[in-house]
Amino acid sequence: MAWLSLAQLPVCAHAQTDAWRAQMQRRQAMQSQQIGATLPASVQVIRDVHYGDDPQQRLDVYAPQHAEHAPVILLVHGGAWAFGDKAVRNVIENKVGRWVPRGFVVISINYRMLPQTPPLTQAGDVAQALAYAQQHARQWGGDPGAFILMGHSAGAHLVALLSAEPSIGKRYGVAPWLGTISLDSAALNVVAIMQARHLPLYDRAFGSQSSDWIAASPLQQLHERIVPFLAVCSSQRRNSCPQAHNFVEKATSFGTPASVVEQDLTHEQINERLGLDSDYTRQVEAFMRKLSPSVAQALNR
């Protein structure tokens, strides 16, 4: 993908870039105030494990005490491919609070972001983190063969892309995982987004070349049966559920067990309310139960 340097941008683009950077800085400052979730005392936490050489390639592990062969959930945060953090409260608090006491290991990752790193490369970071976590799962009490991949927003796009295009994971030695849960991605069909009126953030993420749109689009990269897939979408957003249904329809045409869960929640609530004792959480867990006996057993605790 061809990326212009700041020196190559026109004056108006400089102004837009400066405004965008200021907006990202404000969002990052706001999220930095939200880091520090309240977790059950029984949860063991290992922070900032290096899965790559870049300072952003880090992961946090949340594990039950004395865990053995535990199923693992790997979380990928959102943030317009440009900001966010693995330790933000709405990413981890309710999910860790519900699933670690039931016997899951939960891993939350950071990855490189815009403007330096485009989404296709970010998907490679997710693959690298997943491969590393699979290779080291036993030392945290996890089962390397029982991973569930889960992402929200931009993270939902990345986990969907990694699922749809297996070659990304193969480059990093990713082993098969049980299933993928995409939490409210409105970028499952990047080509359609870029061909219609869209927010400037998509230009910054996907550029102007149609070949780049196709390469970063989960729908266009889906050509075969994939791991079981759940697309959660906000019915309050115009583009989220139609894209979810289109992706799931194509996935099921290849024999993939795939489904959509529509929720009358905001984009943010789709993330932060997962893990609360609710019908929404139970619908997601109904998908998880079908992935393996060990997952079903853990959810029954």
**Mean predicted confidence (pLDDT) in 74-80:** 97
Count CA within 13 A, CB hemisphere, residue 243. Answer: 27
Quote the pLDDT of residue 153. 98
- Give the confidence band of 148 by pLDDT, cuts at 50, 70, 90: very high
Percent of the chain with pLDDT over 90: 86
Which residues, 6 or more positions from 228, have their beta carbon under 8 angstroms from its beta carbon?
178, 179, 180, 256, 257, 258, 287, 290, 291
Quote the pLDDT of residue 10. 36
- Give the confidence band of 38 by pLDDT, cuts at 50, 70, 90: confident
DSSP assignment of 117-183: S-HHHHHHHHHHHHHHHHHHGGGGTEEEEEEEEEEETHHHHHHHHHHH-HHHHHTTTPPP-SEEEEE
- Give the confidence band of 18 by pLDDT, cuts at 50, 70, 90: low
Q: Amino acid identity of 125?
A: D
pLDDT of 16 strictly over 90: no
Quote the pLDDT of residue 101. 96
Question: Which of the 8 DSSP states describes residue 50?
Answer: E
Annotated domain spans of the chain: 25-185+264-299
pLDDT of 26 strictly over 90: no
Neighbouring C-beta atoms of residue 223, cutoff 10 Å: 11
pLDDT of 15 strictly over 50: no
**Structure-token pair, residue 142:** 């996890």
- At the topology level, CATH places domain 25-185+264-299 in Rossmann fold (3.40.50)
**Structure-token pair, residue 145:** 């063969």
- Give the confidence band of 70 by pLDDT, cuts at 50, 70, 90: very high
- Give the confidence band of 20 by pLDDT, cuts at 50, 70, 90: very low
Average pLDDT of the chain is: 91
Contact 108, 91 (CB under 8 A): yes
Quote the pLDDT of residue 40. 86
pLDDT of 65 strictly over 70: yes
pLDDT of 13 strictly over 70: no
**Mean predicted confidence (pLDDT) in 195-208:** 95
Q: Tens of pLDDT along 255-299? A: 999 999 999 999 999 999 999 999 999 999 999 999 999 999 999
pTM of the model: 0.90
